[in-house]
Amino acid sequence: MSRKVRIAFARIAQESNALSPVVSTLADFRRTHFLTGTELLDAVMPDGEEVKGFLKNAEISGFVKAALAHELDVEFVPLFSAWAVPGGPLAAEDHDWFRAELRKGLADAGPLDGVYLSVHGSMNVVGNPEPEADYFADVRSVIGDETPFAVTMDLHANLSSAKVDPLTILCAYQTNPHRDHAGTGARAGKLLLDTLAQLATPVHAWRSLPMVIGGGMTMDFLPPMLGIFRAMKRWERHPKVLSCSMFMSHLWLDQREIGWATYVITDDDPALAAEVAEDLADRCWDVRHSQPPTFPNAAEAIEKVRKMRLRRKLGTITMCDASDVVGAGAPGDSTHLLRAILADGQDMTWFFPMRDPEALAQLATQAVGSAVTLEIGGKLDPARSTPVPVSGTLVGFEETESFGQVATLDLGHVKMVVTEGANIAMKPEFYRDRGLRIWDADVCVVKSFFPFHLYFLPYARSSVYVTTTGTTDFDMWRDHEYARPTWPKDNPSSWRPADRDRRGVAG
């Protein structure tokens, strides 16, 4: 008869953009995904749906699947799962609420053999650049130093000693765009259960690079990152290497300690863990000169899609406003691209997302089908763009779980979806659920860097990135203050001195 073990699990996940003036709150988590107790356990079981409307299987269901397949008899202790669309830093009082709920849930759970926590790894709180380190310290304060503690993170997490030191196991996504949420949870689950069954003795090593951008488009299936992801897989075939993770830091954080990192777990072989972490760090350092491509401005991007006549006839073109990517925490109310489309895109049909709670309050008083004139956008982040006057027809108004109030406007050649909450337009459903046929659009504007490629695959015949001005501009590093010389703002000759300094290693 297999030994019974009790494992508690929870999630507190949001990617933060410290440049956004829109503070995130607990309400943003409740709007997106918030489950507790039995409801959470049901959602992550094999026949459940972990994140309704987004992912059937994500990290926790992957973790549960691996645990169910293990030789140990697992009793699951579900605490809560809170996941919000990327946004501005979380309000301090809501961070305190999460901390209290996590400590209380663990204390009320009784004796535990292990804990699993899913986080993003690049979360900010107002006045606190390392909130996830607080959560990890809270877990340890309840379960003690000896109980195994596993965590999964996005590969855009920002590592630090405060995050790494409390953990027994850390696993990150190994795909970009991310397609292995469940697989990452499964890797962490197997390692945690193997640890409890004394089948493995995990030890880790990590390395930090003074580098915030590189690797080209950073996709796992394209050079130059393809070689690094393949190297990770080769190392994981070594009988003593349990897991390899690589982190391409989130650019838009409110902290001086930012950089790429590597993290390796071996089976009771610290020297091998260090060797592999160093090898992967060298490979990452070698791709620092491969910068993201230069994107066209709004006028150039419009002209580019205008020339794609055949592709527009056969489907649609997706256009990412790379300066206002809600999927990376931008407010989603930039008007720079909209102004250009209104002025110079009349010969094409555009689907356009806009976040504007103030405009929705005005539209809520209007009858569907009525003519409307209002100023749209540029209100959440007025320092970076200003409202645009528009006139058209209100063709739809609804209350939704995911976006709050939603209005659909027909502005002639622009069909606009206005949301109260974060307008993370990365799936065709964002438009299709409003009665807008994707096939009717010459261009669908999206607010996502990468995932939209997967979701729009049946419709998109090409994709265009455009740069305007906003909180997700790639060159924000120029104005950031770093703790030490950091690429590409500076040109360090090696990553090793900064790594030793950051990890507190002598010599």
- Residue-wise pLDDT tens digits, 263-286: 999 999 999 999 999 999 999 999
Question: pLDDT for 284-321, tens place per residue?
Answer: 999 999 999 899 999 999 999 999 999 999 999 999 99
Question: pLDDT for 431-443, tens place per residue?
Answer: 999 999 999 999 9
Check residue 316 and give its pLDDT: 98
Domain shared by 232 and 374, yes or no? no
Average pLDDT over the chain reads: 96
Domain shared by 368 and 406, yes or no? yes
**488 confidence band (pLDDT: 50, 70, 90):** very high
Domain shared by 73 and 183, yes or no? yes
Domain count, the chain: 3
Contacts of 122 (CB under 8 A, 6+ apart): 15, 16, 154, 156, 157, 158, 249, 250, 253
Domain shared by 329 and 234, yes or no? no
**179 confidence band (pLDDT: 50, 70, 90):** very high
Check residue 57 and give its pLDDT: 97
Check residue 420 and give its pLDDT: 96
**2 confidence band (pLDDT: 50, 70, 90):** low
Contacts of 492 (CB under 8 A, 6+ apart): 210, 485, 486, 498
Domain shared by 305 and 428, yes or no? yes
Domain shared by 273 and 334, yes or no? no
Identity of residue 406: V
Domain shared by 269 and 315, yes or no? no
Token representation of residue 204: 């880790």
Check residue 139 and give its pLDDT: 98
Check residue 142 and give its pLDDT: 98
Domain shared by 148 and 224, yes or no? no
Q: CA 349 → CA 18, 191, 241, 467, distances in Å?
A: 34, 51, 52, 20
Q: What is the pTM of this model?
A: 0.94
Mean pLDDT of 352-359: 98
Length of the chain: 507
The rounded distance, in Å, linking the Cα atoms of 33 and 396 is 25
Q: Where are the alpha helices (DSSP H) in 288-428?
A: 298-306, 309-314, 336-344, 357-363
Check residue 3 and give its pLDDT: 80
Residue 408 in contact with residue 434, Cβ under 8 Å?
yes
- The total of other beta-carbon atoms located within 10 Å of residue 461's CB is 15
Mean pLDDT of 34-51: 97
Domain shared by 210 and 69, yes or no? no
Give me the domain span that covers residue 149: 4-200
Residue 270 gets the label, from left (phi > 0), alpha (psi -120 to 50) or beta, of alpha
Question: pLDDT for 363-384, tens place per residue?
Answer: 999 999 999 999 999 999 999 9
Whichever domain contains 36, its CATH number is: 3.40.50
Question: pLDDT for 185-236, tens place per residue?
Answer: 999 999 999 999 999 999 999 999 999 999 999 999 999 999 999 999 999 9
Check residue 42 and give its pLDDT: 98
Whether 507 has a pLDDT exceeding 80, the answer reads: no
Paired strand residues for 82: 12, 34
The rounded distance, in Å, linking the Cα atoms of 327 and 330 is 7
Domain shared by 344 and 452, yes or no? yes
Domain shared by 264 and 364, yes or no? no
Domain shared by 451 and 489, yes or no? no
Mean pLDDT of 383-407: 96
Mean pLDDT of 118-137: 97
